[in-house]
Chain A
């Protein structure tokens, strides 16, 4: 049983839904990044998927815009303890990018402009669970929040939704990415409170 803090009442926001353990609701959109915000021009933006055979699949901004996009309404949970409910995104499901990709690997490393990396199981990116998102609440995604394009994997803590996404590289083993090497959990399920390793 946790110790009670004398005189602490707390400010319970009435929430329609339960939040993952240890999270609180925010109306803001806080920012967790390890370094400066890179400015990636759409004209220079490119996304690629690389597999164990050395094969590469590439998309530029125009190719991304030509793909079938979805509007996604989802809750997001940051490891720094804020959650935001019902956020609105527009993006292309990762299934579309993986349609012609063949791999035996079970994991991927996401790489970002700016050098950030994060590791995920490939299954967590497929079956409509993850997107490349380029709009937030009807506006182009701002650089500070990962624009022009970020990964959106809302069922995991939000550091897995790599900002400024540049490529996915498949990997046989679950090699840790940037925050995962710096004390954070390899998988990051907010409902199991997998914050730290």
Chain B
């Protein structure tokens, strides 16, 4: 099934931040996605030229529906089109669900530490939603914490929904809300010590964001004593 491109039609778009938006696609034949997986999206120009990129699923559970959240990369080929140009009724192609490693399933037991940078929240938001929708027993078996690094409060994806669903710590890198105790700065060892689960044998840590962010955070986690085999990463791109 993953070998095949499905025709997808846009059924909804919602602004998420000034630079990002959520896109809902109706995709006949698409089923069985696990939180953390992604799809490949392929666009075709009228002359047949094609471009494809990967996008994480922002939510799972509804078959034949694909929910994406795309951040505009300035001067990018695909993301500005998806954020600024795309409208309801437009068509594209989708392949997936893809990826079997950077995932969380409601039957997984044990605590989970999520660390997101910017749009890297997308697959982690799918996990938070899957856990919320699985009910209180699952939530009790799998405690979640989320450390979410964003440039400013306005750059946060899904802020209210995430705050309602998970133990969430914000780390602002450029500008904080008024009166915020932590000054704006990049994530550091002190943030991890204060706001994440300590290393343990049953903990899973999932880190997602731009490549440079993931490199920094994964390095800090190892310095803090986490077992590298229990740290899963997804790198979205950008200079490393």
**Could you tell me the distance in whole angstroms from the C-beta of A137 to the nearest C-beta in chain B?**
14
Query: In the complex the two chains form, what is the Cα distance from A76 to B64 in whole Å?
Result: 35
- Whether A8 lies near B229 (C-beta < 8 A) is no
- Whether A183 lies near B219 (C-beta < 8 A) is no
Within 8 A of B (CB), among A112-134: 114-115
Within 8 A of A (CB), among B24-49: 40, 42-46, 48-49
Q: Which of A3, A8, A11, A29 has the most CB of B within 10 A?
A: A8
Partner of B44, one of A2, A30, A144, A181: A2
| A32-B235, A38-B228, A114-B228 known; A24-B51 Cβ under 8 A | yes
Q: Does B233 contact A (CB under 8 A)?
A: yes
| A5-B44, A30-B237 known; A10-B228 Cβ under 8 A | no
- Whether A2 lies near B101 (C-beta < 8 A) is no
- Whether A2 lies near B49 (C-beta < 8 A) is no
Partner of B235, one of A5, A22, A33: A33
Contact with B along A183-197 (1 / 0, CB 8 A): 100000000000011
**Could you tell me the distance in whole angstroms from the C-beta of A163 to the nearest C-beta in chain B?**
13
Partner of A31, one of B92, B102, B240: B240
Query: In the complex the two chains form, what is the Cα distance from A28 to B91 in whole Å?
Result: 30
Q: Which residue of A lies closest to B239 (CB)?
A: A28
Partner of B54, one of A36, A80, A179: A80
Size of interface on A: residues with Cβ below 8 Å to B: 36
> With a CB–CB cut-off of 8 A, which chain B residues contact A11?
51, 77
Q: Does B90 contact A (CB under 8 A)?
A: yes
Query: In the complex the two chains form, what is the Cα distance from A94 to B139 in whole Å?
Result: 50
**Could you tell me the distance in whole angstroms from the C-beta of A144 to the nearest C-beta in chain B?**
5
> With a CB–CB cut-off of 8 A, which chain B residues contact A38?
228
Partner of A196, one of B2, B52, B53, B228: B2
Within 8 A of A (CB), among B196-240: 211, 215, 218-219, 221-222, 228-229, 231-233, 235, 237-240
Q: Does A44 contact B (CB under 8 A)?
A: no
Q: Which residue of B lies closest to A142 (CB)?
A: B240
Partner of B219, one of A12, A24, A37: A37
- Whether B43 lies near A10 (C-beta < 8 A) is yes
- Whether A9 lies near B52 (C-beta < 8 A) is no
Q: Which residue of B lies closest to A114 (CB)?
A: B228
> With a CB–CB cut-off of 8 A, which chain B residues contact A22?
42, 50, 52
Query: In the complex the two chains form, what is the Cα distance from A197 to B51 in whole Å?
Result: 21
Query: In the complex the two chains form, what is the Cα distance from A28 to B210 in whole Å?
Result: 13
> With a CB–CB cut-off of 8 A, which chain B residues contact A36?
218-219, 221-222, 228, 231, 233
Q: Does B85 contact A (CB under 8 A)?
A: yes
> With a CB–CB cut-off of 8 A, which chain B residues contact A9?
45
Binding site for A on B (CB under 8 A): 2-3, 5, 7, 40, 42-46, 48-54, 77, 81, 85-86, 90-93, 95, 98-102, 211, 215, 218-219, 221-222, 228-229, 231-233, 235, 237-240
Instruction: Supply 19 A–B pairs (Cβ within 8 Å), ascending by A.
Output: A3-B92, A5-B43, A5-B44, A6-B90, A7-B85, A10-B77, A28-B237, A30-B235, A31-B240, A32-B235, A35-B233, A36-B218, A37-B218, A81-B40, A115-B228, A179-B101, A181-B100, A183-B99, A196-B98
Listed from nearest, the 5 A-B pairs whose CB atoms lie closest are A36-B218, A182-B100, A5-B43, A2-B44, A11-B77
